[in-house]
Structure 1
Amino acid sequence: MPKQLSKLMRLFLVCFFVISCLPPWHASALENDPSVNDPPQLYSRYAYLMDIDTGQVLYSKAGDERMYPASMTKIMTIVLAIDYLHDLQQKVPITGTMLAGLAQEGASCAGFRVGDSPTVEELLYGAALPSGADASNALAVAVSGTMEDFVDLMNRKAEELGMTGTHFMNAHGLHNENHYSTARDIAVLMKYCMEHELFREIISVRRYKTGRLYSHYNGISMRSGTWYYINTGVNGGYNIPGFEGGKTGYTIPAGRCLVSAATVNGMHMVAVAGYSLGATTHVIDTRTLYSWAGTHYSQYALAYSGTRLASIQINNASPEENEIKITLPDDVVYDLPTGTQISTESDFVKEVEAPLEEGTELGSYRILVDGDTIYEMIFKAQKTYDIDDSSYYQSKMSELLGPYAFIPGAALIAFILLMIFSRMIRHAKGRSKIRTTLKERERMERKDGRGIDEAFSELSEIIPESEENKEM
């Protein structure tokens, strides 16, 4: 028994020693990170959730890994057509080249045939709602002349948008080993698409019908494949509050895919679900992502445009330019987890000396969440401030005289007061002299028997006379 206790004691001491050597645990921003503590449970292999307005990534699952986008490709085709084809009523003749190989590959089509001349608008809806590869190819030719040139345009646009993991080989998304993207890149592309009012309008529509066509006398009726299961109010439908529309995709290598947009708790978001194997699991995952974001996040306005941060004095500058007022240029809005601790820090100089060169750093402003900086703005002088001579010499005089710098000003004030006082004394003496003369004259007149009025009249004549003599 004692031996067993001895072993237990040694084991306890070893464990205590190991634990005591571990570094102390510190709380961090991850403590409140829902994607770590309570991540969404998804069927899809790839997923991405991003706020369109702030650019924040709220969730990523293999977001930068290569995936096949399938018909999600068509949102690039649609947005480029919107960018380049401004006349929505422009007719686009359907040719055999546009339709070549689509039937053999089992591509989904809107139903356009050779001889039809749909408008650009009809082709846009044909690419978006029924996911028509025929409409996509027609838009590509209408924009660039050939499908090859249009693919070049797609890749240039992808590079411009920062879609570093993407390479396109066609306008419709049918499988090609060299036609790939990432969940992140598709989200970035969708963010750009949602900046276009016409794009938002197209993906929000459930049904659309073309005008009369050569092959369809009554036009082609189209139904959205994206909206088919969403907010339908029927059995098998999935309720996604705030859903604005999106684009599905499917090939065997790509699985079921969906890129979409929705507004949840005031947050305007894009969600991507890629390579989901169930018939509707890509829709379920999209609903899960938006619901998860609405449960764990809210949008906060952390600072507002025009907020005064600091006032910096510029010594030796002209009175009109001796102060720089630092204000925030934009609103600062973020999606933050519940229970987040928000704080701010600012570090600005109080005064600077002219001349001040344009671009001189004046200070910084930071917003911190749970101690981690999420926003930082460095403020610099926006122009050059030159020395003002009068301000400069006044400053140097103050430096030279030190505590006695007030003496010249005080002396000037004393001199002015002295001059005013002297003038008042002279004026008072003059009035006194007149009164004395009047009294003396009155006394003499009384002796002579004359009245005061006559004496004053004589005195009035005498005084101007003497003044005239003085002037002469």
Structure 2
Amino acid sequence: MVNTSQSRLIGIFALLMMAVISFRPAAAEAVSWPTANIDAKSWAMIDARSGQVIASHNADQELPPASLTKMMTLYLAFEDIKLGRLDIDARVSVSKKAWKIGGSTMFLEPRMKPTVKELLHGIATLSGNDACITLAEHVDGSEEAFADRMNAKAKELGLQHSHFANATGFPQDGHYSSALDMVKLGAALWRDHPEMYKLFGEKEYTFDGRSQPNRNRILWSYPEADGIKTGHTEEAGYCLVGSAEKGSTRFVTAVFGTNSDRARAQQTKTLLKFGFRNFVTLRPTEREIRRQVEIFEGTEASVWLKPAAPVWVTVPKGNESALSFRLRYDAPLKAPINKGQQLGSIDAVFGDKGNTEVLQSVAMVAARDVERASWVMRQWDGIRLWWRESEQEESEGGSAESGNQ
């Protein structure tokens, strides 16, 4: 017969078992990538630091870019100034073609001799068509020759869906770009010409006693905004490439084909808010990314690999732990190895085991030199490699070493 103490023990044990059985750990939330809903014909957003496209719709569609074209006009001017090929204080002649162009202008006349610096303000802030032609003619002799350089630079920057026929964005056959190309160009302007980039945040500019405002509404309505360029023609609709920065995150956005000036600004702000609300830009340290790999036929048995450049990765907020790094290289690695020599790449991998995505790949280089070993040690390493390969062939599923870590 069971006594009272035993009954209590049995009861406590039963309660514990029920608690254990009924306890179910909460399932981890599935890793997902947030999506945006933007009212535009084509749009895209890129993180300027990581280079990742965060969200997009019809981003490769080739469309008339209107005055967004002037971003490339300014890129070439900034580059020429940086390389010493263009004097920012030089005075420039205004042709009749520039004077008569029409559209948005800074009201240049043939009697005037504006400086290159004034033209830059006139393009970035006032969207002056006359300033674009004046600058193009000064730099390359003609707008047509300047357009050739625009296309060469577009190819160099990886803009695969852009072709420029003029420096202004006036409608012309064979003149087109895409939302994706424009955010890439915007990021390149900030990355390659950070000081000149500040022009895009200018809210108004006065030339020859006449003040005009920047048409980019987000400079007033979105505190973190600092650029970049508006565009509008009847064919293109209302377009805007915007940029803003919070903390370590800088987004560049592009909207093509909205139906009004107000709409392009509103859709740009919606896209920027979506980005900052849902994403964070991480900068892993070199210690987190570096990997040690085995070296054969060398005076050292291994060498550390490190990223060739600083690494930035953009991930959804709250899912930072879903980011990992995977090294890829062709094994076996043999000496001699030179410091700075690229020996592989590391993938930034996002997601869980069932669903992963490579966000970007970064070159990995040797942290130091590894000299070639003596003849005897090289022969010994040759035997080691032969033995290892034999074992792999005998092992079921033992494929040749890929160097993944």
With normalisation by structure 1, the TM-score equals 0.64
From 324, 331, 340, the counterpart of 2:303: 324
Residue correspondences, number: 341
Deviations 1:290-317 (A, max 9, x none): 10011111122344268542263656x5
After TM superposition, the structure 1 = structure 2 runs for residues 130-145 of structure 1, keeping only pairs within 5 Å, are 130-145=126-141
Higher Cα radius of gyration: 1
Cα gap change, 1:113 to 1:183, in 2 (>3 Å): same
Cα gap change, 1:173 to 1:348, in 2 (>3 Å): closer
Cα gap change, 1:176 to 1:295, in 2 (>3 Å): same
Residue 162 of structure 1 is matched in structure 2 by 158
Cα gap change, 1:93 to 1:362, in 2 (>3 Å): closer
Residue 206 of structure 1 is matched in structure 2 by 203
After TM superposition, the structure 1 = structure 2 runs for residues 296-445 of structure 1, keeping only pairs within 5 Å, are 296-304=278-286, 308-310=290-292, 312=294, 314=296, 317-318=298-299, 321-340=300-319, 341-345=322-326, 356=335, 365-371=346-352, 372=356, 373-376=358-361, 385-388=371-374
After TM superposition, the structure 1 = structure 2 runs for residues 171-210 of structure 1, keeping only pairs within 5 Å, are 171-194=167-190, 195-210=192-207
Residue 233 of structure 2 is matched in structure 1 by 251
**d(CA) in 1 for partners of 2:58, 2:330:** 45
Task: Give, as a single letter, the amino acid of the residue that structure 2 aligns with 1:95.
Answer: S
SS at match of 1:370: strand
Q: Are the equivalent residues in 1 in contact too, given 2:308–2:365 (CA < 8 A)?
A: no
Deviations 1:388-420 (A, max 9, x none): 26868999xxxxxxxxxxxxxxxxxxxxxxxxx
Task: Give, as a single letter, the amino acid of the residue that structure 2 aligns with 1:54.
Answer: S
Q: Are the equivalent residues in 2 in contact too, given 1:265–1:298 (CA < 8 A)?
A: no
Displacement after TM superposition at 1:200 (Å) = 1.3
Displacement after TM superposition at 1:79 (Å) = 1.9
Judging by fraction of residues, say which structure has more helix.
1
Residue 10 of structure 2 is matched in structure 1 by none
Task: Give, as a single letter, the amino acid of the residue that structure 2 aligns with 1:34.
Answer: P
From 254, 257, 273, the counterpart of 1:291: 273
**d(CA) in 1 for partners of 2:126, 2:237:** 18
**d(CA) in 1 for partners of 2:60, 2:345:** 33
Cα gap change, 1:377 to 1:138, in 2 (>3 Å): closer
**d(CA) in 2 for partners of 1:90, 1:141:** 14
Cα gap change, 1:264 to 1:89, in 2 (>3 Å): same
> Structure 1 residue 225 and structure 2 residue 207: aligned?
no
Q: Are the equivalent residues in 2 in contact too, given 1:69–1:173 (CA < 8 A)?
A: yes
SS at match of 2:152: helix
Displacement after TM superposition at 1:82 (Å) = 2.2
**d(CA) in 2 for partners of 1:141, 1:196:** 22
Residue 79 of structure 1 is matched in structure 2 by 75
> Structure 1 residue 59 and structure 2 residue 55: aligned?
yes
Unpaired runs of 5+ in structure 1? 1-26, 211-215, 233-237, 396-472
**d(CA) in 2 for partners of 1:126, 1:358:** 52
Residue 275 of structure 1 is matched in structure 2 by 257
Of 44-53 and 337-346, deviating more is 337-346
Cα gap change, 1:145 to 1:198, in 2 (>3 Å): farther
Task: Give, as a single letter, the amino acid of the residue that structure 1 aligns with 2:323.
Answer: I
Cα gap change, 1:258 to 1:305, in 2 (>3 Å): farther
Task: Give, as a single letter, the amino acid of the residue that structure 1 aligns with 2:90.
Answer: Q
SS at match of 1:84: helix
Task: Give, as a single letter, the amino acid of the residue that structure 2 aligns with 1:48.
Answer: A
**d(CA) in 2 for partners of 1:241, 1:299:** 20
Larger RCO (alpha carbons 8 Å, 6+ apart)? 2
> Structure 1 residue 90 and structure 2 residue 90: aligned?
yes
**d(CA) in 2 for partners of 1:73, 1:378:** 32
Root mean square deviation, CA, Å: 3.4
> Structure 1 residue 34 and structure 2 residue 34: aligned?
yes
**d(CA) in 2 for partners of 1:253, 1:180:** 11
Cα gap change, 1:48 to 1:30, in 2 (>3 Å): farther
Task: Give, as a single letter, the amino acid of the residue that structure 2 aligns with 1:162.
Answer: G
Residue 454 of structure 1 is matched in structure 2 by none
**d(CA) in 1 for partners of 2:329, 2:161:** 41
Cα gap change, 1:313 to 1:66, in 2 (>3 Å): closer
Deviations 1:199-247 (A, max 9, x none): 312111112233xxxxx4xx34332121xx3353xxxxx3x24111111
Displacement after TM superposition at 1:191 (Å) = 1.7
SS at match of 2:283: strand
